[in-house]
């Protein structure tokens, strides 16, 4: 391997929103730093299934539905 081309890995602590902490290796910060997460898999709707509504930005969904309503979607 070439020297000085790879990032420096070190151990940091990652704290989730519920207070759970994990030790992991990362290139973020310095050795022993703590990364506090605001959003993580325990609270984000993408992982918890908390959101079931479809966001319609600028009427695109309704425009699509109207355009293809006769095809049985």
**Percent of the chain with pLDDT strictly greater than 90:** 37
pLDDT at 28: 94
Domain boundaries, position 3: 1-47
pTM of the model: 0.56
- The verdict on residue 16 lying in a domain is yes
Residue 63 has what pLDDT?
Answer: 81
CATH number at residue 11: 4.10.80
How many Cβ atoms from other residues are within 10 Å of residue 34's Cβ? 10
> Does some domain include residue 5?
yes
Mean pLDDT of 27-40: 93
Q: What is the 3-state secondary structure (H, E, C) of the chain?
A: CCCCCCCCCEEEEEECCCCCEEEEEECCCCCCCEEECCCCCCCCHHHHCCCCCCCCCCCHHHHHHHHCHHHCC
Q: Cβ(51)–Cβ(71) under 8 Å?
A: no
């Amino acid at each position: 391997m070439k020297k000085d081309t790879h990032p420096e890995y070190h151990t940091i602590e990652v704290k989730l929103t519920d207070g759970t902490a994990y030790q992991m290796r990362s290139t973020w910060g310095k050795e022993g730093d703590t990364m506090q997460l605001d959003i993580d898999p325990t609270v984000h709707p993408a992982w918890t299934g908390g959101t079931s509504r479809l966001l319609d930005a600028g009427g695109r969904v309704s425009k699509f539905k109207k355009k293809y309503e006769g095809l049985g979607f």
